[in-house]
Amino acid sequence: MPASLLANLTERPSFNRVLMRTLVVVAYVIIFAPVAMIVATSFFAQEIVSFPPPALTWDWYLNAWDKPEFLRGLVTSLQVALLAAAIGVPIGTAAALAIVRGQFPGKQVIGALLLAPLAVPGVVAGSGLYMFYVLAENALDRDIKATTQGLVAAHVLLTIPWTVRLVVASLQGLDRAAEEAAANLGAGPFTVFRRITLPMMRPGIVAAAMFSFIQSFENLDLSLLLVGPGRITLPVAMLNYLEFRIDPTLAAVATVQILIVGVLMVVTDRFVKLSRVV
Amino acid sequence: MASLSIENLTKRFGTSVAVDGLDLAVQEGELVALLGPSGCGKTTTLRMVAGFLPPTSGRVLFDTEDVTRLPAHKRSTGMVFQSYALFPHMTAAQNVGFGLEMRGLGAAERQAQIEKVLKLVRLSHLAARFPRELSGGQQQRVALARALVIKPKLFLLDEPLSNLDAKLRAEVRIEIRALQQRLGLTTLMVTHDREEALTMADRLVVMESGRVRQIGSPRDLYDAPQDAFVADFVGRCNILAGRRESETQFRTESGLVLSVDIAPNESKNANAFALRPERISIQPGAKGDLHGAVQAVTYLGSQTEYHVRIGEEIFVVIQQTPDANEPLASVRPEDQVSLHWDRKSPRLVPQTSV
């Protein structure tokens, strides 16, 4: 081993480096502690959480399984999230293309407006949508609120800002020369888009689909007023349960939720390196 | 392969003129380099020839066919981009095959041609790699193969060597030139690197502010530049302002008298003395009528560069590095030296605002 490398290893770390590392560890602890706490609690064999637990148990998971509202909520949430992502991502992608590539007046304003839903509190947007749906129901003479379609439409609004943001970023980082090279090799505009542009946008679109799904899947506030009987999403079902009881059953449900999101992120990361896109 | 004619080509962006009435003819099998500083319009010209930019006015012809209004994908040019512009989601072989696919070739025929051209650029063993798995030099060869395989009417090179390191650049330069000559490719190349242009091109076009300064062979431009800008841009040059005093003499603004013959095509407006550093010989000691103190001695390996102050002027002299036992080898800053040159070597040219 070269002498300089050895010196580097044995050198006393500077104060700044120690401080930096400490801050990083503290930041990670702050981020992961609540998650770890929920997962841990779901195995504690007592109703009121105390430490250390008297014993560990699977009972809360069995309890959650016995409550039909959770399983139904999970299925509804998965359905809504898939539909919302499937509808919102193409719309957001088209909007991102128009914003980055298009030449039209008011481009900047439209770009800003598409990100605006991120700034509106979910409850406020939910109330607004509720009132809008009531008006629309009267005008169209058909049910909108408390239907799956109404809920999906609302969740599409959640997915668009994320998609626009991620796809705009991936388009801005895209090497236009590759498109010119394709044209140079004889590809017409549509072929260039299909064979070159779209595949190069893929990481951004995949990341957008994942984030859209997660946004919808774990949304509580926007959905509160829009769900209907028998069409309750998992987060709303959890809140309902909380109104009557506080026990680790919820922690068990939340752990399953965390697991689904976690698996989704790991799988997505295998296809596109998320750290490079987001 | 076709010949290329550019007629009175002009491109304006708003009020600024990027290319201003350019005329140029490239013969079949010839390599012409557009050379100039950034912003001189050389890349804009290339992009108009490729069809990526519509000209404001003027015409572009391949042989006798007017392609001015033809979109890029119908022009059949093969371009190598500065960034190589490989398709990141395709392997080297797929990149090369893309143009063939666009021409409607079947898979078997494509495969045969891909193999042939990859062999030509010595990349057969890396056909299945993705661009990110290739080195810069290898990516560059994929880009070359991709442009060549479609048998383009015109071969276009946009700063093809600028992303390679110095050693590789020298190799690839020779390789591309050999390929171009062997296949008889009509080539238009853009570069800001004079060495690249001088070594590769049959003819050079020196551009500045959207206009052509001079067109000629590398030797023409190096030995007989038309103005001070060209003299300075195609190689290092001592340029001194002043005026002709007699048939054999030039007087600089600072009053120095230098010997120079009249070249047959010397301009009446010539007000600058231009002399290449390697055309000056240097001797230790204040012997001749032109002598002064050495300012700096820079050892460059096979060559050595001297900066010599005579009066108010500084002359740059480049000489073969002398053997260690020659008197010149012991010259140090502040030492007196004298300079000589053949009276035919310098040229008097018009000064240009650069």
Quick one: pLDDT band at residue A15, thresholds 50, 70, 90? confident
For the segment B29-43, the average pLDDT, to the nearest whole number, is: 94
Does the structure show a pLDDT above 60 at A5? no
CATH number of the structural domain spanning residue A117: 1.10.3720.10
Q: Any CB–CB contact under 8 A between A199 and chain B? A: yes
Contacts 24+ apart (CB under 8 A), A146-153: A146/A226, A146/A227, A146/A228, A146/A229, A146/A231, A147/A228, A147/A231, A148/A76, A148/A79, A148/A80, A148/A83, A148/A231, A150/A226, A151/A80, A151/A223, A151/A226, A151/A227, A151/A231, A151/A233, A152/A80, A152/A83, A152/A84, A152/A87
CB contacts under 8 A, B 223-262 vs A, are none
Let me know if residue A39 belongs to a domain.
no
pLDDT digits (tens, 9 = 90+) for A77-130: 999 999 999 999 999 999 999 999 988 898 889 888 888 888 888 889 889 999
For the record, the structure tokens of A189 come out as 């505009």
With CA atoms as reference, report the closest residue to A220 among A199, A247, A239, A246.
Answer: A239
Reply yes or no: is the peptide bond before residue A52 cis, omega within 30 of 0.
Answer: yes
Query: Which range, of A6-15, A213-222, A233-242, B154-163, averages the lowest pLDDT?
Result: A6-15
Largest CA distance in chain B: 77
Q: Any CB–CB contact under 8 A between A190 and chain B? A: no
Closest-CA residue of B relative to A184 is B73
Q: Any CB–CB contact under 8 A between A198 and chain B? A: no
CB B229 within 8 A of CB B242: no
Let me know if residue A182 belongs to a domain.
yes
> For A13, which DSSP code?
P
Let me know if residue A187 belongs to a domain.
yes
Q: What is the spatial distance between Cα B202 and Cα B190, in angstroms, rounded to a whole number?
A: 13
Query: Which range, of A244-253, B134-143, B331-340, averages the lowest pLDDT?
Result: A244-253
Q: What is the spatial distance between Cα A253 and Cα A251, in angstroms, rounded to a whole number?
A: 5
Tell me the percentage of chain B whose pLDDT exceeds 90: 80
Q: What is the spatial distance between Cα B18 and Cα A79, in angstroms, rounded to a whole number?
A: 56
Angle, to 10 degrees, between the axis of helix A198-217 and the axis of helix A148-172?
140
CB B17 within 8 A of CB B11: yes
Backbone angles phi, psi at A227, to 5 degrees: -75, 155
Q: What is the identity of the amino acid at A262?
A: G
Closest-CA residue of B relative to A175 is B85
Average pLDDT of every residue of chain B: 92
Does the structure show a pLDDT above 80 at B227? yes
Q: Any CB–CB contact under 8 A between A194 and chain B? A: no
For the segment B38-45, the average pLDDT, to the nearest whole number, is: 93
CB B343 within 8 A of CB B225: no
Angle, to 10 degrees, between the axis of helix A107-115 and the axis of helix A68-101?
170
Dihedral, A93, A96, A101, A105 alpha carbons, nearest 10: 130
Which residue in A175, A186, A199 is closest to B83 by CB distance? Answer: A175
Average pLDDT of every residue of chain A: 88
- Domain coverage including residue A94: 60-277
* Number of structural domains chain A divides into: 1
For chain A, what is the radius of gyration of the CA atoms? Answer: 24
Q: Which residues on A lie below 8 Å from B72 (Cβ)? A: 180, 183-184
Does the structure show a pLDDT above 70 at A9? no
Does the structure show a pLDDT above 90 at B337? yes
> For B191, which DSSP code?
E
Q: Which residues on B lie below 8 Å from A185 (Cβ)? A: 73, 78, 98-99, 102, 146, 150
Q: Number of residue pairs across A and B with CB atoms under 8 Å? A: 67
CB B265 within 8 A of CB B298: no
pLDDT digits (tens, 9 = 90+) for B164-195: 888 888 888 998 999 999 999 999 999 988 88
Q: Which residues on B lie below 8 Å from A191 (Cβ)? A: 102
- The CA distances from residue B158 to B1, B38, B141, B300, in Å, are 19, 13, 14, 30
Give the pLDDT of residue A278: 61
For the record, the structure tokens of B95 come out as 């990149």
pLDDT digits (tens, 9 = 90+) for B260-291: 999 888 888 889 999 999 999 999 988 878 99
Helix then strand then coil, % of chain A, to nearest 5:
75, 0, 25
Determine how β-strand B77-80 pairs with β-strand B154-158.
parallel
Give the pLDDT of residue B294: 94
Residue with tokens 């070159």: A196
Q: Any CB–CB contact under 8 A between B327 and chain A? A: no
SS3 A7: helix
Nearest 5 degrees, angle CA A210-CA A214-CA A217? 135
CB B134 within 8 A of CB B142: yes
Largest CA distance in chain A: 82
Let me know if residue A85 belongs to a domain.
yes
Question: Which residues are registered as beta bridge partners of B35?
Answer: B191, B206
For the record, the structure tokens of B310 come out as 């005579």
Q: What is the spatial distance between Cα B315 and Cα A11, in angstroms, rounded to a whole number?
A: 52
Q: Any CB–CB contact under 8 A between B179 and chain A? A: no
Q: What is the spatial distance between Cα A115 and Cα A164, in angstroms, rounded to a whole number?
A: 7
Q: Any CB–CB contact under 8 A between B150 and chain A? A: yes
Question: Which CATH architecture describes the domain B4-223?
Answer: 3-Layer(aba) Sandwich (3.40)
CA A146 to chain centroid, in Å, comes to: 23
- The CA distances from residue A30 to A18, A23, A42, in Å, are 18, 10, 20
Q: Could you tell me which CATH number the domain at B239-349 has?
A: 2.40.50.100
Does the structure show a pLDDT above 70 at A7? no
Does the structure show a pLDDT above 80 at A13? no
Which residue in B85, B98, B103 is closest to A180 by CB distance? Answer: B85
Give the pLDDT of residue A47: 78
With CA atoms as reference, report the closest residue to A180 among B105, B143, B136, B60.
Answer: B143
Does the structure show a pLDDT above 70 at A4? no
Q: Do A185 and B146 touch (CB under 8 A)?
A: yes
Residue with tokens 């991936």: A170
Backbone angles phi, psi at B316, to 5 degrees: -100, 125
Closest-CA residue of B relative to A188 is B73
Q: Any CB–CB contact under 8 A between A177 and chain B? A: yes
pLDDT digits (tens, 9 = 90+) for B289-331: 899 999 999 999 999 999 999 988 999 999 999 998 888 888 8
**Domain ranges within chain B, ordered by starting residue:** 4-223, 239-349
Does the structure show a pLDDT above 70 at A146? yes
Q: Which residues on B lie below 8 Å from A184 (Cβ)? A: 50, 72-73, 75, 77-79, 147
Q: pTM of the entire structure?
A: 0.80
Q: Any CB–CB contact under 8 A between B70 and chain A? A: no
Give the pLDDT of residue B320: 93
Q: What is the spatial distance between Cα A11 and Cα A3, in angstroms, rounded to a whole number?
A: 12
Query: Which range, of A241-250, B56-65, B149-158, B340-349, averages the lowest pLDDT?
Result: A241-250
Q: Any CB–CB contact under 8 A between B130 and chain A? A: no
Give the pLDDT of residue A8: 54
Give the pLDDT of residue B354: 43
Q: Any CB–CB contact under 8 A between B89 and chain A? A: yes
Does the structure show a pLDDT above 90 at A228? no
Taking the alpha carbons of A70, A71, A76, A79 in that order, is the dihedral positive or negative?
positive
Give the pLDDT of residue A1: 44
Test the A interface: residue of B89, B132, B142 with most A CBs within 10 Å: B89
